[in-house]
Amino acid sequence: MLTRREFIKKSAQGASLLTLGSLISGCFSRGFFQNHLRRMSREEAKRTIQRLEDEYRHEFSRQVKVKDTPAQQDVLFGMAIDLSKCIGCRRCVWACTKENNQSRDPQITWIDVFEMKHGSSMELALDQGTRYYRREMVPAKGHFYLPVQCQQCQDPPCVKVCPVKATWKEPDGIIVIDYDWCIGCRYCLAACPYGARRYNWGRPTLPAEELNPNVHLLGNRPRSKGEVEKCTFCLHRTREGLYPVCVEVCPTGARKFGNLLDPKSVIRKILAEKNVFVLKPELNTKPRFYYYFS
């Protein structure tokens, strides 16, 4: 026979055990204990993708396909921008935002276009240019435009400083982030010399009808608050032979993209024939993002 006191005690114990159990299982099902993507077995990766797809379906009431296309063999991506052709229309900025499911509010864009006065140096500095230009018509007289996004450095400072290895360089040269592993310390934001990384300060919002359902695990899948993101050269497209959307949408053809290991690629042709330069070369980050004037 149980006394009343014992009964209360026992049921309290049982209840707390149950709560603890459901808490732990909840943690597992919600991805709390999700491993680092690069430590996962095939099985684990599959389960993770399944979980993400379920979550997105729940959140957006739409079917979302999460891909994990690996880097292709013998491919090293690079981009070049012909600054003589860029007119500063920012079509790349908006196309990128749509393609890569950036938060609409707070607004996050992966590409910045700087309006620079003719004759100013290529320094990213306030007296040289601004990314907050508002014009009725572009290009404005006496100005040129400098689009900046992740420079996909060969020696990326952001990767070096990350305390938990949440960001790394893929074999095709693209710097990616395991969004679920990022702890949100923002050391990479401080380390990036190009201001290319973006932080989800609040909960990202993305209307379901604007969601791009063709997403990649390391790329444009919807992110959560407290996570860092940035340009991935549209790896969900480029790993399947398509151009990044900023290249495709550019009305003047100022953006060139291709495989640096392919001697016949357009990017190799530009490197061979034009005087290209990179931003902040003195920092020795060796960007795979080149600029030139044709």
Partner 1 sequence: MKTKGSNLPNLLFTGGAGYYLWLSFLGAAVVAGALAYILQIRHGLIITGMRDPFPWGLYIANFTFLVGIAAAAVLVVIPSYLYHYQPLKEVCLIGEFLSASSIVMALLFVVIDLGRPDRFWHIIPGFGLLHFPQSAMAWDCLVLWGYLVLNLLLCGYILRCKYQSRQPSTALLMPLIYLSILWAISIHTVTAFIYSSLSSHPTWHQAIMMPRFLASAFSSGPAFLILILQIIGRCTRWPVEKKALHKLAEIMTIALFFNLFMLGAEILVETYAAAHHLTHRLYLLFGLQGHTALVAPTWLAIGAQVCALILLLFPKARQNLKLLNLCCTSIFVSIWFEKGIGLLALGFIPSSSGEIFEYHPTLAEITITAAIWAIGLLIFTLLVKLAVAVETGALQQAAHAQGEQPKSRESEQIGQEAKPLSG
Among the candidate windows 14-22, 46-54, 158-166, 267-275, which touches partner 1 by CB under 8 A? Answer: 158-166
Q: Are 63 and 57 in contact (CB under 8 A)?
A: yes
Minimum CB distance to partner 1, residue 200 (Å):
7
Nearer CB in complex with partner 1: 83/124: 124
- Does residue 184 belong to the site contacting partner 1 (CB under 8 A)? yes
CA distance linking residue 80 with residue 258, whole number of Å: 9
**Dihedral pair phi/psi, residue 169, rounded to 5°:** -100, 125
Write down the residue that tokens 């020696």 correspond to: 155
> Amino acid identity of 287?
P
Among 11, 160, 273, 294, binds partner 1 (CB under 8 A): 160
Binders in 105-124 for partner 1, by CB under 8 A: 106, 112, 114, 123-124
Asked if residue 201 binds partner 1 (CB under 8 A), the reply is yes
Site for partner 1 in 211-250 (CB under 8 A): 225-227
Distance CA 226, CA 249 (A): 30
CA–CA separation, 224 and 30 (whole Å) = 13
Burial of 32-55, coded b for 16+ CB within 10 Å and e otherwise, reads eebeebeebeeeeeeebbebbbeb
Of 4-12, 51-59, 90-98, 175-183, the window that binds partner 1 (rule: CB under 8 A) is 175-183
Q: Which positions lie near partner 1, rule CB under 8 A?
A: 32, 36, 39, 106, 112, 114, 123-131, 148, 157, 160-166, 181-187, 189-195, 197-203, 225-227, 280, 283
